[in-house]
Amino acid sequence: MSKQAKTLTAGELRRALDYVATRRHAARNRAMLMSMYLAGLRVGECAALTYGDVVDSDGAVRDEIRLTPEQTKGRHARVVFVSERLRKELATYVRAHPSANPSRRLFYTQKRGSVGFTANTLCQHFFYLFRRAGIEGASSHSPRRTFITNLAEKGVSVRVLQSLAGHRNISTTQAYIDVNDAMKRRAVELV
């Protein structure tokens, strides 16, 4: 069995964001990290986002992102709900990097003429980002796993989590939830 991606603590997320803020492409990297952390996007889904997916014709960030089957891992269209906090993050990014072309990839790479990240190049990008930020064991999957675990910790049902994550099987969602001592302490206090 393969090892699960690390669930990020609040301090580790802050460390990653602080590191990102000091590097080139800070706005892009922050927006990508927060999209996965605040909406549970898979790395491939994040890489596949276009301006039209995220921004409406008036230039406002949508409150729902409709992913096509081609953009998702299981080739099943799904809706990603965008929180107010994520809308603000994405609006900041879009203001700094506007595009009139709705089919243009939202997140560019450093290479000129690039159409954007692939799932693989974005996985590598986050591997090195977390490593350089000094966060051991974190990967591109860590923000998504943290999203699911944080919601479970706040009492969101596994059925709702399954839908938010775009999982076909509830057992997949359950495997994402990292049970910690704080969750167990709160649970025993309910008795």
Catalytic status, residue 62: no
Catalytic status, residue 167: yes
Considering the candidates 23, 66, 73, 131, report the single residue annotated as catalytic.
73
Considering the candidates 6, 30, 42, 125, report the single residue annotated as catalytic.
42
Rounded distance, CA 179 to CA 66, Å?
Answer: 30
Considering the candidates 37, 51, 93, 176, report the single residue annotated as catalytic.
176
Catalytic status, residue 66: no
Catalytic status, residue 73: yes
b/e per residue, 100-133, with b = 16+ CB within 10 A? Answer: eeeeebbbbbeeeeeebbebeebbebbeebbeeb
Considering the candidates 30, 125, 144, 145, report the single residue annotated as catalytic.
144
Beta strands in 71-149 (DSSP E): 78-81
For residue 65, the cross-strand partners are 80
Considering the candidates 131, 167, 168, 184, report the single residue annotated as catalytic.
167
Considering the candidates 15, 62, 87, 141, report the single residue annotated as catalytic.
141
Distances (CA, A) of 119 to 115, 125, 171, 179: 13, 10, 24, 28
Rounded distance, CA 107 to CA 134, Å?
Answer: 24
Residue carrying the six token digits 């107010």 = 84
Which residue numbers are catalytic?
42, 73, 141, 144, 167, 176
